[in-house]
Amino acid sequence: MIAGCSREPASLISPTSCTTLEGVPVNSRTFSKFAPLIAIVLLFSLLVSACSSGLSTSRSDDSAVGETPVAVTDDASAETTSGETENADSSDDADLEIDVATDDADPENDEEPGPADERSPVELAVQQVKPAVVFLAVQVQTTGPLGMPEQQEGVGSGVIFDEEGFILTNNHVIEDATMIDVVLPDGRTFEGTVIGRSPERDLAVVDIDTDEELPVAELGRSDSLRIGQSVVAIGNALGLPGGPTVTTGVVSALGRTIQGSMGQPPMENLIQTDAAINPGNSGGPLINLNGEVIGINTARIQQAEGIGFAVSVDTARQFVQQVVDQEPQPFIGITGLDLSAAIAQQYQLPVDRGVLVVEVSPNTPADEVGIRPGDILLMLNDVEIETVQQLQSALTDYQPGDEVTLTLNRDGSEIEIDLTLGESPIVR
């Protein structure tokens, strides 16, 4: 019954509202002197009164203990009241059983995992791929200022895509390497050997010879990517200790063509992303939220923020088939750019669709038949070509040595050129 006691009487005692007590005049000085004692007396009186009231109520009806008061009309019969009492008793018994069952329940089953315990899609994707992302320590022999040989060291990343120990990385990471150390996130270290590379595509395959079980990342597809799709870049940024670095972003654009650095040929059909790609990230995977590799990180624009590029996994897969599976890939010998209305307007081109030829590699099938920069490829045989991705997909139906007919727009006029496909070059 303590909970029912009120603290209101204490608030009524104030020098301005109380002038007498039991008929004795009380001035402000007298009140101040006895105010604490008066408050205690009043509070104790109220407490005794409330407790006495509760005691008399409980004695008046022993059978009503624990019941909720029920309003009964004047014409209600005793039988009805008795029934209600029995129902109330039954209800109390049911409540008691439920309480007991609840008390005996396993508290662990009652606890549901909170949001902090749930893994995000990014975490799940990284968990799948990160064990297969390797650190590459590369030694390159160069010529010093005095003509003496010097050893230089570089770092990069790669991703294991086959349980036999094959690793995808960038050509510029391992080019001219005299020694390659491959370090897995679990600390294991192996010596790597380059078995094939393509400067034009900035791709290379490194092999590690081991019978140990290796983590493997799954190669996805890049032909179904969407602009705005979430992606994750994984790599050994700046060669920092502690394992691979993870950055997130979106697919900013598709089918990009950029000029290679330091005399390298242009690279085409690239994925543009705003996921941070820093030095040391080169050769690492760009993945989707399903944990599939959809690109190989390759370059960034130093003069801009949030602009990085990755070689599409479809391009990488064709290279892998050529190097690992020994399947020759058809080759024309051009570097192309997806044509758009904006580019056509900027350069005053006669059409706004197709693949604009930006470079023709020397001594290639395209060079031999006279294809030149500025030509716009419209069709390969009877297949319309609007993007570099479509051109690469169309070429998968042919083998080196097959003859095809290319439809080009040159200076506003359409021409047809017959061409014998060559074999895509690789360096072993």
Q: Look up residue 72 and give its two tokens.
A: 């009964």
**172 counts as catalytic:** yes
Q: Cα separations (Å) of 211 from 164, 165, 190, 206, 214?
A: 8, 9, 11, 16, 9
Indicate the residue type of 309.
F
User: Are 136 and 182 spatial neighbours (Cβ–Cβ below 8 Å)?
Assistant: yes
Residue 389 CB-density burial (10 A; 0-12 exposed, 13-18 middle, 19+ buried): buried
- From the list 318, 275, 325, the residue with the least C-alpha distance to 298 is 275
Dihedral of the CA atoms 149, 176, 271, 319 (nearest 10)? 180
CA 289, CA 226: separation in Å to the nearest integer? Answer: 13
Query: Catalytic one among 157, 198, 222, 282?
Result: 282
Query: Catalytic one among 157, 198, 202, 207?
Result: 202
**282 counts as catalytic:** yes
Q: Look up residue 36 and give its two tokens.
A: 């604490």
CA 105, CA 400: separation in Å to the nearest integer? Answer: 72
| Cβ partners under 8 Å of residue 399, min gap 6 | 328, 330, 421
User: Are 283 and 154 spatial neighbours (Cβ–Cβ below 8 Å)?
Assistant: no
**202 counts as catalytic:** yes
CA 398 to chain centre: 37
CA 3, CA 25: separation in Å to the nearest integer? Answer: 34
Residue positions annotated with a catalytic role: 172, 202, 282
